[in-house]
Structure 1
Amino acid sequence: MTLPIAILRTGAVTSVGLNAPSTFAAMRARLNNFEETAFLDSKGEPVSAGMVVLDVDDAHLGPLDKQVVMLAQAVRECLQGLPELDISKIPLLLCVAEVTRPGRPANLEQSLSAGLGQALQCQFSAQSATYAYGQSSGIFALNAAFELLKTHPLILIAGVDSYLNIATLKAMHEKNRIFASDNQIGFIPGEAACAILVGHPDSIQHILPRYSNVQTEAQSSQTPGTSLFCTGLGIARETAVIGGTAPNKAKGLSDATKAALNALPGKASDIGLRISGQSSEDFYAKEFAIANSRSNVSATSLWTLADSLGETGAAASLLAISWAYASGHKGYLPASNLLCLLASDEGERAAAVLSFGQYQA
């Protein structure tokens, strides 16, 4: 497909906000809401995490039930104010945790899909699909959206993930991956849900953006055609995965980055911002640094999701796109072209070039 994909709407539920505008306002200020959990490390110290506290009474909710509530809330926000949509004709591309994730609930995809349908009292298109690639899931879904947009004017991409169940925390801590008093190079576990509605570039003429909790004249009078577009994607496979024996040379992330940058005339020189899903985990920090230096984008500004949210897994790529959407519409995006970079534990590496401005055919 030669046309770019337009990012039309977003919705988010995170530890710093229960909707997208609140979440990205907090992230713009570099706030976090990390709190101590009941899980203790080997020194008996509590592990901190980015935990979502819902408006509803979630004390009785199991880990999977909470993910369903978070996912439904993000999707509702994303579709808010669009009652004319026929949801039965919109494919849902659902992003979830890697199949090999320790502590991953059984039948995760089926339970989330069924729970979302019940919560929203609707059924999505038969072309709906699931992408179980952790952090990289959203980019894989965007890649599929290019083909799906040939037959569907709108596509909903939604992701939800949580590291905050005891089996996952225990397994990750045993592998020295969790940030704790006995491990200073691990990641802070988090949880989040995010949804984005995407479509053809001409869709922005009749679906107004929503990026604020307060509807203002500025929103309704925004220049027609101004929006966020996905203009390039790169997907690759890394054989040197975390916990493996192969040396960390960042080949997969480098290849994904170069493929995504091919969409730009000036390639790396046109990128003015990077948004990364990398956490403070030593392996991924090194891989990210190597890949960025090879692609000549290491001198550009860097925003990291984990600083505010911790590791959010399958929601991370969609949160990165939604942060770019919010910052562009709110007027604090430092560049018109930016690069999103994601890495999954099973070896998937993904990059996306996003551009904010007016679409010209």
Structure 2
Amino acid sequence: MSEIVAMGACTPIGLWAEAAAAAYFSEISGIQLHPRFIDTGGERVSMAFVEAVESTREADRMAELALAAIRDMLTQPDGGGQEADLLLSLPAYRPGFGPEDARALVEKIRGSVESAFSLREVVTGQYDQAGGVMAIATAMNRIANGGRRHCIVVATDSYIGADSLDWIEAHQRLKTVTNPFGLIPGEAAAAMLVGPATSRNRVQVIGGGLRREIADESPGPYLGRALSRALLDATAPLVERETPIRHLFVDLNGEIWRTDSFGNALMRASSRFALGESFNVTANRVGETGAAFGVLAGILAAVGRRTRMLEGRFACICGSATSGGARAAVLLDLGERPT
């Protein structure tokens, strides 16, 4: 079993973790019309962006966001000094983010982390919305199998740039007046230090599920088979306790296939959840955050519980890669209600 030791974030609704969580649970949205970007119909594009970041290239923005999140994490009392593995969640290659950009970004993040940690291994994953969730699950498994090793999980992504916006719109994925089922571009970075469980006062990672969707299994509408299996795997630790999960953070972003897949998966795993009327869709506040989604969701849940903005002891996070079929889920024990 592992726990979240320290965390940091940089988002359109808060430049550090506590500020982002306070804004999120206060239902403050960072989505606005961008002053410069317009779609092919001549309309200004709705997006969520960090105004403090001045870079215009997506890869440069990802780096600035990531370094800000790492600095936030390192300000915490236990946020440095350990020997650790570095697990990165980066976006898959696309216009505005190619192999050279990825290599430069990894080196910048490594350099920032090495000032405070002794790194043993650096692992990079590029699984978009599933990536951050997979990185948290991987950290949990490494700590469980390798003794008292720590893992630093860093996730960053940005769709705020001409290349990414053109690419999204060309594939009819951008939300516009004529395409109401598209996504709203966003950006964020999140960082967390995960270590072996030592304190009941910290959020613990107690379950994980990693699956892959096979195209032949889902003809027509996406049936969500692999995602449902990931959810069932992640929530298995609570089966004997018969404790329903009240919070589910999901990567819905307006795309129909993602909604279909999640809806079908949730029906198969419905016995594990008691969600009431809603679940947490981070894209409604910070836009599509891609590879940063899972780690950011974990931080929102952890800070929300600690500051009594989130009721309920357990939270689940699930994500699906846009391409490649990766599906992932993790289960967090947020601890007893703070006094």
1:23 Cα deviation after fit: 0.6
1:65 counterpart residue number: 60
1:147 Cα deviation after fit: 4.2
- CA offsets 1:7-44 (integer angstroms, 9 cap, x no match): 12211100111111111111001111222233322321
Kindly provide the amino acid, as one letter, of the partner of residue 160 in structure 1: T
1:265 counterpart residue number: 239
| 2:10 is the counterpart of 1:35 | no
| 2:229 is the counterpart of 1:232 | no
What are the residue-to-residue correspondences of 1:1-361 with 2, within 5 Å?
4-37=1-34, 38-54=36-52, 58-59=53-54, 62-82=57-77, 85-86=80-81, 89-99=83-93, 101-119=94-112, 122=115, 124-149=118-143, 150-202=146-198, 204=199, 225-240=200-215, 246-266=220-240, 270-296=244-270, 297=273, 299-300=275-276, 301-346=278-323, 347-357=325-335
1:70 Cα deviation after fit: 1.2
1:298 Cα deviation after fit: 6.9
Task: Report the secondary structure of 1:126's partner residue.
Answer: strand
Question: TM-score of the superposition, structure 2-length normalised?
Answer: 0.88
Task: Report the secondary structure of 2:333's partner residue.
Answer: strand
Kindly provide the amino acid, as one letter, of the partner of residue 46 in structure 1: R
Contact 2:56 2:160 in 1 (8 A): no
Report the RMSD for the aligned CA atoms in angstroms: 2.4
1:83 Cα deviation after fit: 7.5
Residues in 2 aligned to 1:27 and 1:230: alpha-carbon distance in whole angstroms: 22
Residues in 1 aligned to 2:24 and 2:140: alpha-carbon distance in whole angstroms: 29
Contact 1:240 1:248 in 2 (8 A): no
- CA offsets 1:60-101 (integer angstroms, 9 cap, x no match): 5643222212111101111214488335x22211110024x3
Residues in 2 aligned to 1:177 and 1:131: alpha-carbon distance in whole angstroms: 23
Contact 1:277 1:320 in 2 (8 A): no
Kindly provide the amino acid, as one letter, of the partner of residue 85 in structure 2: P
Task: Report the secondary structure of 1:18's partner residue.
Answer: coil
- CA offsets 1:83-129 (integer angstroms, 9 cap, x no match): 88335x22211110024x34423323321122234456637513121
- Which consecutive unaligned segments of at least 5 residues does structure 1 have? 205-224
1:316 Cα deviation after fit: 0.3
Would you say how many aligned residue pairs link Structure 1 and Structure 2?
327
1:187 Cα deviation after fit: 0.8
Contact 2:85 2:152 in 1 (8 A): yes
1:248 Cα deviation after fit: 1.2
Kindly provide the amino acid, as one letter, of the partner of residue 72 in structure 1: L
Over 3 Å counting, the alpha-carbon distance change for 1:82 and 1:227 in structure 2 is closer
Question: TM-score of the superposition, structure 1-length normalised?
Answer: 0.83
Residues in 1 aligned to 2:49 and 2:215: alpha-carbon distance in whole angstroms: 30
Kindly provide the amino acid, as one letter, of the partner of residue 64 in structure 1: A
Which stretches of structure 1, 4 residues or more, deviate above 6 A after TM superposition?
none
Contact 1:68 1:115 in 2 (8 A): yes
